[in-house]
Chain A
């Protein structure tokens, strides 16, 4: 039984010029203890989707269709139907979110201890001694010295320390699901590494499921079990991490993977994706990636292709040319795309 099952979710932004279809017919499932990475360029809808999963979307956002089914102890509820009280419960106790720009997620005028206490009180933990014990335990878990960190104000902590505190806060109510938006962006290399290692440790120890949104493919390579590529609000490919990195079948996934150089191993044929993402208010007819796609044929411009199984039943791509993509990439070996195309 998956922890989270999203079905045909569509989210619009209402603007003066009309609706922007930021997320279109997104479906996926997340198993217990599984880590899912959602990748794509800015404007691909990945953050809108993540925020939508905990119904924290800003005003002017409308879920136009679909279900977000959350299962705990055999009991399934649709997050879309929760009332305010249940939603508050769901938000931190079941599904916690760690936002991008860790630096701005704190209230700057209260100490870290007060941030813990506020969060606890908002969720009905009134006994501040118990909160203190829990804070100590959590900070220990993220390798921070509680005595030093709790009395500090946010500006006194480094970027990496703040990110650790935010992860600790997210884990306070032992959520089943942790959603992270760009968890290591804006952090230095060594700090980034320590946060990645920390997330791995915590996941192993606490067994939560994780969804993270990132434009950084290397974080996905480190942490993900499964991956989703989003383009223009749609899921265009879904696969396990090795299939996505070594055997992508959607030209957009291929393009993204090829756009990122590596430090180790051969550089291969690195290249950018030509053009820019489409205007979500005026999507092209047919496949929205076709105008940038090197493999597009006339048929691609006729109808938006559905997600279909490729290679294996657990690997899906929304591309009628996926066999051609497979041919272009050649071997199925565990070698990155840029090297296969070199």
Chain B
């Protein structure tokens, strides 16, 4: 099966006053139709930049972005316009991403007119009503005339999702889309996005720093873990959370506090050799995690950049030691 959208060794460098940094380094990721996956990592890991590269808002400085097999940055005219409609971004902050001087109707009808999905106000109202129902803002007539300040954070984020839906997208990248809404309603927003994946075949990439949110959202899909611009592990969600292969994923999962006193107070930690996160301006040679990694081997990890390789157990991992041990272990079992 060919992927719907794919990053093929995509890199993105930025020039900063202090020097050039590579925010995303040769990331490859292929997504099928209706897939719901998560990108996780700490601040500065490049997950937001990856999201912007996926949506075509940033031009890669290396590698290719493919949509339906075509290199997006080589397409023009109608093809490019089709890509722009097909791939939508939902921002983190629903307080900033909606125009405060526009009603919900104005916000949602503008793209409908622009993309000729509505030609009269009657058509626009019918389409907006339909969209509001799809994001569970019911009854719709209560919301069409509202301004953003009259809505709660969760309701605003629903409007932002509805806006993304105006153009019938095939891919939605949601960058920390639930981080700013109350914990009590996060799950319902995630369920809304999951329903879009399931019922309409929309491919959804949720970018989050919250592993518990990632586990819930991608429970039938994959999670990609990023560290300093590289994808270090890409695995089926349950495999990742129960048996992380990359020592960085393992450290994150061991460190995360859980909403369960017994579990959280009895977790075994993964001791890192250093708490310091290297600067993107002077990345360590070899594996960028090696100065902190408990498994680091001199002469290997500090020299050679590990590639993201498939290993047994529905996962890919970029770690010399994990690849050796896990493929070795499997070889021993089959032998």
Q: Which residues of A contact B (CB under 8 A)?
A: 41-42, 158-159, 188-194, 196, 215-222, 241-242, 245, 255-257, 259-265, 267, 270-274, 276, 334, 336
Contacts and interface: CB of A to CB of B under 8 A. Distances in A.
B329 interface: no
Given A189-B211, A215-B183, A271-B187, A262 B258 contact: yes
Contacts of A260: 183, 212, 259
Contact of A221 (B186, B241, B258): B258
Given A245-B259, A263-B253, 4 more contacts: A189-B42, A221-B258, A221-B265, A276-B154
B260 A336 contact: yes
B265 to A, nearest CB: 7
Contacts of A271: 187-188
A261 B212 contact: yes
B186 A245 contact: no
A222 B209 CA distance: 19
B215 interface: yes
**B contact residues, range:** 35 or more
A262 B267 CA distance: 13
Contacts of A158: 277
B182 interface: yes
B334 interface: no
A334 B257 CA distance: 17
Interface of B: 42-43, 152, 154, 182-189, 191, 209, 211-213, 215-216, 219, 241, 251-253, 255-265, 267, 269, 272, 275, 277
Nearest to B241: A263
Contacts of B213: 261
Contact of B264 (A191, A221, A256): A221
A245 B182 contact: no
B15 to A, nearest CB: 21
A253 to B, nearest CB: 11
Given A221-B257, A221-B259, A245-B259, A272 B42 contact: no
A334 B259 CA distance: 12
B219 A267 contact: yes
Contacts of B257: 192-193, 196, 216, 218-219, 221-222
Contacts of B185: 259, 272-273, 276
Given A194-B275, A259-B183, A188 B259 contact: no
Given A189-B42, A190-B42, A190-B252, A263 B258 contact: yes
B253 to A, nearest CB: 6
Contacts of A245: 259-261
Nearest to B155: A276
A336 B173 CA distance: 32
A256 B184 CA distance: 6
B182 A41 contact: yes
A222 B255 CA distance: 11
Contacts of A217: 183, 259
A218 B264 contact: yes
Given A263-B241, A267-B216, A276-B152, A190 B184 contact: no
A245 B269 CA distance: 23
Contacts of B267: 264
Contacts of B211: 189, 263
A189 B255 contact: yes
- Scoring A158, A218, A241, A267 by chain B CB atoms within 10 A of each residue's CB, the highest score goes to A218
Contacts of B277: 158
B256 to A, nearest CB: 5
A332 to B, nearest CB: 14
A242 B211 CA distance: 23
Contacts of A190: 42, 251-252, 255, 272, 275
Most buried by A among B219, B258, B263, B265: B258
A216 B187 CA distance: 14
A34 to B, nearest CB: 15
B241 A264 contact: yes
12 contacts: A189-B209, A190-B251, A191-B42, A217-B259, A219-B257, A221-B261, A242-B261, A245-B260, A261-B187, A262-B263, A263-B253, A267-B215
Contacts of A257: 259
Contacts of A193: 255-257, 269
Nearest to A200: B265
Contact of A272 (B186, B219, B252): B186
**Residue from A221, A267, A272 having most chain B Cβ neighbours under 10 A:** A272
Given A41-B182, A188-B209, A221-B261, A261 B42 contact: no
Contacts of A194: 275
Contacts of A267: 215-216, 219
A316 B186 CA distance: 28
Nearest to B45: A188
A336 B212 CA distance: 15
A41 B183 contact: yes
Nearest to B211: A263
Task: Give the residue among A215, A257, A260, A265 with the most B Cβ atoms within 10 A.
Answer: A260
A191 B256 CA distance: 10
B65 to A, nearest CB: 28
A337 B121 CA distance: 48
A221 B260 contact: yes
A189 B212 CA distance: 11
Contacts of B183: 41, 215-217, 256, 259-260
A239 B188 CA distance: 28
A342 to B, nearest CB: 13
Nearest to A260: B259
Given A260-B183, A261-B213, A336 B259 contact: yes
Contacts of A42: 182
B328 to A, nearest CB: 27
Contacts of B241: 263-264
A213 B241 CA distance: 28
Give the one of A191, A245, A256, A261 with max B CB within 10 A. Answer: A261
